[in-house]
Structure 1
Amino acid sequence: MEEGTGSTGPSKASANTADGVPASTEVLVIGAGPGGYVAAIRAAQLGLEVTLVEKDAYGGTCLNDGCIPSKALIHGADVAHEATTAEHLGISAEISIDVDRLTDWKDSVVDQLTGGVESLCRAAGVTLVDGHAAFVDDHRARISTDDGEATLSFEYAIVATGSRPIEIPGFEPDGEYLLDSSDALELSTRPDELVVIGAGYIGMELSTAFAKLGTDVTAVEMFDDVLPMYDDDISRVVREQAVEYGVEFRFGERAADWEPADDGVLVTTEDEDGATAQLAADAALVVAGREPATDTANLEALGIELDEDGFVPTDAQGRTVRDHVFAIGDIAGEPMLAHKASYEGEIAAAAIAGQPAALDHEVMPAAVFTDPEVATAGLTRDEAADAGYDPVVGRMPLQANGRALTVEATDGFVRVVADAATERVLGAQIVAPNASELIGEIALALEVSADLSTLAGTVHTHPTLSEAIMEAAADARDEAIHTR
């Protein structure tokens, strides 16, 4: 095989010095997160020879340091909070919280799932390599493992290197005074006071969880409300509930500086007028968002350049400018969601196998696991109008939902957006307990181009939160029974 980008296929004669690395493979997958491992399994199911290279842990950030462990922590915090705040129901309890044991349980959940990922890959016939992969040219990658280095030739490649936390200059996490989200999920003791820098989805999930565990939380946010990517009425519900749990907010301020102080930190914030304030805490949790990890696989060797937002440009099947190289997941653009990465992985695998497949990001649900949860799919009213529709909107407040009353969760709503002319459902926004589960009905409605009459006319179990979807659809048709 030639050395340059004019090479046409994998070589069968690569000399390897690292054990477990094959000389060649049909499909090289770099990264075993929710995009990479799904792509590898699907490609193997489709009869392709697949090698999956992962430098850290199978399951990626989502399974090891994000989605799963954070939801486990949130569950533990919910149990603790409910046990101590039910006196009005005639239930009183005194509890103790062993954060170390909670962390051990969380780790056991993660271990079970990561082991499952490895088992699924092996059962599908995927070759697993623990190491770091970087491209050498069009059809070769250098694999670095604990045993040494090897050259792996490939016919196709799927890059799924994920994302990492954005670092604020001067606030680089050190695991002691300054924490990132991974550090926060590994704490063995509960901090008495915590400054959270950022009130986006990660900041709000963890702020609420720690507040429920008894930590005094102060959240610092440059914007004027929490979850700045959502409509004001959604942000308001989440913020007001967080305040009830004891979270204090400082909006319109940025973290300007910090210093160690009294076995903790002293964080200096600054507003737009230059006024400063100092916040003392045991530690500061820095959650300013995430950025694509596009610099780990040496994409430059393939001539792949990033777009103006720092993502890898791809087509409707995940192909990059090099037809045999695909990019999926967080490096391929917003939204940075695990289920989006998995979906893109299946599409890329199908495309490599020669099957018809294409991405459709219009039906991509998203959820924030705050209290209450937030979930969305499709278009908002404004987005529908910008797209040329004449939108009609139906809304069902949870105050009128029987199930919401029985679980004491009436601060929320379901909003359904449809096209006035055809009544085709265009999207929905849900603020409610288990919104992440409820949004599946909307995603299906969007996928099959259902109209309002289908949602409103489908009998929903009573009493359930899902009835609010039915009522919101009926409200959009001026036919709601339980709201006006």
Structure 2
Amino acid sequence: MIYIVGGGPAGRMAAVRLASAGKEVTLFEKRALGGQCVHDGCMLVCGLNDVARSIRDTEFLRNTGVIEGTVSVRYPEVMRRLEEVQARLSKILERETLDAGVKIQYGVTAEVEGRSVIADGVRYDDAEAVIVASGAEMYVPDVSGAGLFGTYTARTIRSMPALPKRMAIVGGGISAAEFAYIFSSFGVEVSLFARSSFLSMLPKRMHKAALRDLSSVHIYENAPIGRVLGSDHVVGVVAGDVTVACDAVLFATGVRPHSPHVRGFLKNADGSIVVNEKMETSVRGVYACGDVVGAPYFTPVSRLQGFAAADAILGVSRTVDLSRIPFTVVLGLDYTVCRDADASGASFASPNIAGPGSVWHVSDGSVGTMELNVDTSNGQIVGFSSSGPGTGLVGTYLGYLVRKGVTVHEFSSMLEIHPISDGLYSMIRFAEDHLADQKRE
């Protein structure tokens, strides 16, 4: 029997892979399948962002003069219906997992000691292998007032009874930016406090465009949270030398690996479990994957690590390449980036093109931007960034090709779908022509 602790993207993928290969697999899950992605992360943000974008698009078209009327959000109903969607997603995952032959035990607090698993007091010592995929927990800074009524994380935001008039969001990364866009679109006055710089992972042009999406948000950089004000309910925050009144505080300050229930293993200072290239821990036959092994905290990385752990158990060699990981920040546009910070080469940049979801925005120039990074010695694409409607989809496939070492020369015969709202294909052709001209010179 193979025991897996955690039914998020990493643990579930490993379970399905192993069971499909004929292994007996038992998966212990405390909540529901899908992990943070389905319940507190990706799907939560996507659901809320769909509503936010609908509101912003309606406002834009109204201001353009082509439609009439206004819309407003019914926040409690949004959260209620979104929870229904999330529950349905979890059931779909459950059916897929059970159909693969995995046994699932829900509501179980599982501990791991060496190669033994203790689930609700029952000890299992017959493991062929064990996989720890217990994920990460929301990180909240240790500041005065952090536990007051009116303070939330992505995990608890569903308990907020109504939209506040003023919200403080603490954090300077992707999650903080996405929630700032969502709640400002819902009509909340949002102030965002970043400990250092804000959205530093975005290229300069894209960063400027993202700030346009967040133009109604008061952004304070280099303003670490000092304390939350209030006696029995939030009334404000102090961050750096700034004091701002608010009715709610949302901590979007990242996650930390969740491993207190795992004993007898080599760990890093942040609690992440140390693994080798096969995702095997310091205890032979015990593997760990997903957020519990530390950053980067991306769902696709967790999935790949889950497959890698399963394949190691099956005797199949697989490694997880963590270079040039594509990612997207979801605001009014998708801001998609895939680049290697150490790579050098020529940079080609321009505004993005008009297409579905962006035609009307030609009028105000907010169709997005794109940038391509190319090694001029061989034409290899070493990175790219693109903002526009749906660039995450384009970035998924182009990111794969970039990681495979594709060159601009291999795109000369590409036939694109038209119309689309991402112009990287035209940028790639332009780069090829530019390199050809340089060679002729």
With normalisation by structure 1, the TM-score equals 0.83
How far apart, in 1, do the equivalents of 2:195 and 2:319 lie?
A: 38
Partner of 1:69: 44
Partner of 2:92: 116
Counterpart among 167, 171, 176 of residue 149 in structure 2? 176
Partner of 2:410: 454
Q: Deviations over 1:217-242 (max 9, x none)?
A: 01111224x21233333322212220
Structure 1: give runs of 5+ residues left out of the alignment. 1-24, 271-275, 386-390
How far apart, in 2, do the equivalents of 1:168 and 1:57 lie?
A: 27
* Inter-CA distance 223–258: structure 2 relative to 1 (3 Å threshold): same
Counterpart among 403, 406, 411 of residue 359 in structure 2? 406
Counterpart among 254, 266, 274 of residue 224 in structure 2? 254
Which amino acid in structure 1 is aligned with residue 378 of structure 2? T
- 1:175 is displaced (CA, Å) by 7.2
* Inter-CA distance 378–172: structure 2 relative to 1 (3 Å threshold): farther
Counterpart among 41, 44, 51 of residue 19 in structure 2? 44
How far apart, in 2, do the equivalents of 1:172 and 1:278 lie?
A: 14
Partner of 1:294: 259
- 1:70 is displaced (CA, Å) by 1.6
Partner of 1:79: 54
Residue 423 (1) aligns with residue 379 (2): yes
- 1:98 is displaced (CA, Å) by 1.2
How far apart, in 2, do the equivalents of 1:397 and 1:180 lie?
A: 35
How far apart, in 1, do the equivalents of 2:165 and 2:13 lie?
A: 40
Which amino acid in structure 2 is aligned with residue 129 of structure 1? Q
- 1:173 is displaced (CA, Å) by 4.8
How far apart, in 2, do the equivalents of 1:402 and 1:179 lie?
A: 38
How far apart, in 1, do the equivalents of 2:148 and 2:232 lie?
A: 17
CA contact (8 A) 1:372 1:431 kept: yes
Which amino acid in structure 1 is aligned with residue 220 of structure 2? R
* Inter-CA distance 203–46: structure 2 relative to 1 (3 Å threshold): same
* Segments of 4+ moved more than 6 angstroms: none
- 1:91 is displaced (CA, Å) by 0.4
- 1:361 is displaced (CA, Å) by 2.1
CA contact (8 A) 2:180 2:217 kept: yes
Partner of 1:3: none
Partner of 2:139: 166
How far apart, in 2, do the equivalents of 1:36 and 1:262 lie?
A: 40
Mean alpha-carbon deviation: is it higher for 202-211 or for 456-465?
456-465
CA contact (8 A) 1:197 1:286 kept: yes
* Inter-CA distance 42–175: structure 2 relative to 1 (3 Å threshold): farther
Residue 392 (1) aligns with residue 365 (2): no
Q: Deviations over 1:83-116 (max 9, x none)?
A: 2331214101123421111111111110111111
Which amino acid in structure 2 is aligned with residue 426 of structure 1? V
How far apart, in 1, do the equivalents of 2:355 and 2:32 lie?
A: 44
* Inter-CA distance 233–477: structure 2 relative to 1 (3 Å threshold): same
Helix, strand or coil at the partner of 2:209: helix
How far apart, in 1, do the equivalents of 2:347 and 2:173 lie?
A: 26
How far apart, in 1, do the equivalents of 2:231 and 2:430 lie?
A: 56
* Inter-CA distance 308–218: structure 2 relative to 1 (3 Å threshold): same
Counterpart among 208, 214, 230 of residue 202 in structure 2? 230
Counterpart among 112, 130, 147 of residue 135 in structure 1? 112
CA contact (8 A) 1:69 1:185 kept: no
How far apart, in 2, do the equivalents of 1:38 and 1:354 lie?
A: 17
Helix, strand or coil at the partner of 2:155: helix
- 1:59 is displaced (CA, Å) by 1.0
CA contact (8 A) 2:229 2:237 kept: yes
The correspondence of residues 314-329 of structure 1 with structure 2, limited to 5 A, is 314-329=275-290
Helix, strand or coil at the partner of 1:233: helix
How far apart, in 2, do the equivalents of 1:264 and 1:132 lie?
A: 33
Residue 126 (1) aligns with residue 106 (2): no
How far apart, in 1, do the equivalents of 2:285 and 2:258 lie?
A: 20
- 1:65 is displaced (CA, Å) by 1.1
The correspondence of residues 350-369 of structure 1 with structure 2, limited to 5 A, is 350-362=311-323, 364-369=325-330
* Inter-CA distance 479–402: structure 2 relative to 1 (3 Å threshold): farther
Counterpart among 357, 365, 374 of residue 335 in structure 2? 374
Q: What is the identity percentage for the equivalent residue pairs of Structure 1 and Structure 2?
A: 20
How far apart, in 1, do the equivalents of 2:96 and 2:148 lie?
A: 33
Counterpart among 210, 213, 238 of residue 268 in structure 1? 238
* Inter-CA distance 413–84: structure 2 relative to 1 (3 Å threshold): closer
Which amino acid in structure 1 is aligned with residue 83 of structure 2? D
How far apart, in 2, do the equivalents of 1:379 and 1:277 lie?
A: 36
Q: Deviations over 1:263-282 (max 9, x none)?
A: 64221122xxxxx3321111
Q: Deviations over 1:256-314 (max 9, x none)?
A: 122227964221122xxxxx332111111111111111223x232xxx21235643222
Structure 2: give runs of 5+ residues left out of the alignment. 436-441
- 1:176 is displaced (CA, Å) by 2.8
Q: Deviations over 1:424-446 (max 9, x none)?
A: 22222222222211202312312
Mean alpha-carbon deviation: is it higher for 82-91 or for 61-70?
82-91
- Structural RMSD (CA): 2.2
Partner of 1:8: none
Partner of 2:439: none
- 1:55 is displaced (CA, Å) by 1.4
- 1:170 is displaced (CA, Å) by 1.8
Partner of 1:210: 183
**How many residues are paired up?**
429
- 1:419 is displaced (CA, Å) by 2.0
Which amino acid in structure 2 is aligned with residue 462 of structure 1? H
How far apart, in 1, do the equivalents of 2:424 and 2:145 lie?
A: 43
- 1:179 is displaced (CA, Å) by 1.1
Which amino acid in structure 1 is aligned with residue 212 of structure 2? E
